[in-house]
Chain A
């Protein structure tokens, strides 16, 4: 799976939870879930669970703690896929 594939899948996952739609137009690895997409923090848990399901991985609490941007999520996914 390429970097772009992963980012595209993350975009699909976060879209239903995104309150600031403009944030989806310039979606890239520096996009911040809370500031740029205004995803409610309660929905961050839904994002984490959906990422776990989509990539068949388990995101431990330490990893979740730092999952603030699309790039963070991609790095966590890559790391889990490769272990």
Chain B
């Protein structure tokens, strides 16, 4: 399945104004995207909205095409009005949740669930505890598995099923999304 997410801590992201930093913008956004940004009510916030959309699409795209990590944000073309990202022949529709503190982008082709937790050195344990609580799976049964491209899956001791997950953290926040499973 296709799955991806990205979280932005707005307190950190907005601390450094970027809209006039053309060198920064031109490394990640096309001229068309930059002119789209200028028309937004809040261009600084929109920078991070587009960024989170591109990151989300990248994660989904990497899972489908299984390639080594690369940093090519310009090849992910954002349409801020339609909330989609075009990459080669693919179009990814992105959903966005946001409040004053954070911005969260995600996409999935099947129903998914999200667990948002505060980021700490222990956030993975916090996630697995909540995940087990929601799904009824035993804590000791779960392991994170990353393939050679760094793409994460949850592996379970008691069976060979692997669950695709997308993981993101930035500043104070972390989030993991995963397909809904029947238990």
> Which residues of A approach B to under 8 Å, CB–CB?
19, 34-35, 40-42, 44-46, 48-49, 52, 61, 64-68
Contact = CB atoms under 8 A, between A and B. Distances in A.
A40 B170 contact: yes
Interface in B98-135: none
A35 B74 CA distance: 22
B70 A61 contact: no
Given A40-B170, A41-B55, A42-B51, A49 B24 contact: yes
A42 to B, nearest CB: 6
Give the top 7 A-B pairs by smallest Cβ distance, nearest first: A65-B72, A65-B70, A45-B27, A40-B170, A65-B71, A68-B69, A45-B28
B51 A44 contact: no
Given A40-B170, A41-B55, A49 B27 contact: yes
Interface residues of B, number: 18
A61 B27 CA distance: 7
Residue of B8, B13, B28 with most chain A CB atoms under a 10 A cut-off: B28
Contact of A48 (B27, B48, B51, B150): B27
A14 to B, nearest CB: 14
Contact of A64 (B13, B24, B27, B170): B27
Given A42-B48, A45-B28, 18 more contacts: A19-B169, A35-B150, A41-B55, A42-B8, A42-B13, A42-B51, A42-B170, A44-B71, A45-B24, A48-B27, A49-B23, A49-B27, A52-B23, A61-B27, A65-B72, A66-B70, A68-B69, A68-B70
Overall SS of chain A's interface: helix
B4 to A, nearest CB: 13
B173 to A, nearest CB: 11
B24 A61 contact: no
Contacts of B74: 61
Contacts of A67: 71
Nearest to A59: B27
Contacts of A49: 23-24, 27
Contacts of A64: 27, 71-72
